[in-house]
Amino acid sequence: MAMRRARELGLPLQGETGRFNAITDVAGVEVGYRTIRREAATPIVRTGVTAILPFGRHGPLRPAWAGSFGLNGNGEMTGLHWVEDGGYFVGPVCLTNTHSVGIVHHAVVRWLVRTYEEAFTADHLWAMPVVAETYDGVLSDVLGQHVTEEDALAAIDQAAGGAVQEGSVGGGTGMICYGFKGGSGTSSRVVRTGGVQGTVGAFVQANFGRPDLLTVCGVPVGRILAGRSQEAERGSVIGIVATDLPMLPHQLRRVARRAALGIARTGSSGGNSSGDLFLAFSTANPSDLPQRSGPLLNLQSLNDELFDPVYEAVCQAIEEAVLNALLAGEPMVAVRPAGKRIEALDGETLLETMRRYQRQRD
């Protein structure tokens, strides 16, 4: 049976989605992938790079106002010290595997300098990219550091709006989630609050969760399918939230925290070995970089009292993005330990499990 996304499968998910039910429903946001799969190689390679561009590949050099949150720090997302102090970042957000952060960071700097050479040369601008990782060493030769600068540049150069591919693509190629094949997933919500309408989009690189903890729309699916797991919760998750609603950095930090609640809806308790890192950015308030601006900045922001619908949208979109990543998975055989088969979450099995649980409750 052809793969269907969570909403298409008929899961009782809340909220109104945008046109593509993807982070690209936020106008201007583009997503690109470079997927590296060498199934016949020794050792096997299944990895890649994901690029998320707040203003597209051809957009102006300008700040994306931002905030971040670390639920558990056993992972890496570069540039967050400046996001917390400066309240913004510049350029693509890239996701890859744990041992490829350095080369991807190098590539993003190169892309920024190449694309905006005049500004970097004339104004002594500096680049401090946001690059995040999750560990794909079960399904890929993570120790071989197979991602190259050219791979990262290709992910950026292939970025586009519209529908977004999910599952075993880009940085999510070799990831595992709740014991099933995980990877890249996305979703969006239309938000209306106080007479203002906007869009919230979410993207996850899902590589986390103990098998028995998987929860789908409140149903303990993992406990039913996996029984009592003896495994520790490992891996990591990166969550990116985009919006076109005007927000200040302190508000975006609050939004980033709610992404962690969206992850919790799927069952995770944020295990010790899981790096759970979240970034939220707004494409509103277009302005020049502060280094190139006048003495006063004029920024609009949504009233704090109107944020509850935004928080709900973030939780819903992150939750659905994780489910979409799971449902887009494909079975893979592990590299370490060799021979272990990582199954995909079958949509029909999921639906029947949820129906059986409901019948038992009734």
188 is catalytic: no
Q: Are strands 130-134 and 176-177 parallel, antiparallel or unpaired?
A: unpaired
276 is catalytic: yes
Contact 138, 342 (CB under 8 A): yes
Using alpha carbons, list the distances in angstroms from residue 175 to 84, 96, 149, 271, 343.
28, 10, 21, 17, 12
Residues with Cβ within 8 Å of residue 329, at least 6 apart in sequence = 167, 168, 177, 180, 181, 182, 183, 344, 345
Out of 25, 212, 276, 282, the active site residue is: 276
Residues with Cβ within 8 Å of residue 279, at least 6 apart in sequence = 66, 67, 68, 77, 80, 83, 93, 130, 132, 238, 239, 240, 241, 256
| CA-wise closest residue to 47 among 340, 337, 332, 341 | 332
Type of residue found at 338: A
User: Could you tell me how many residues make up the chain?
Assistant: 362
Residues with Cβ within 8 Å of residue 192, at least 6 apart in sequence = 309
287 is catalytic: no
Cα–Cα dist 117/82, whole Å: 22
DSSP output for 90-102: -S-EEEEEGGGHH
Out of 140, 168, 187, 236, the active site residue is: 236
| CA-wise closest residue to 205 among 95, 316, 315, 129 | 95
Token pair listed for 168: 């075993």
Q: What residues are annotated to the active site? A: 236, 274, 276
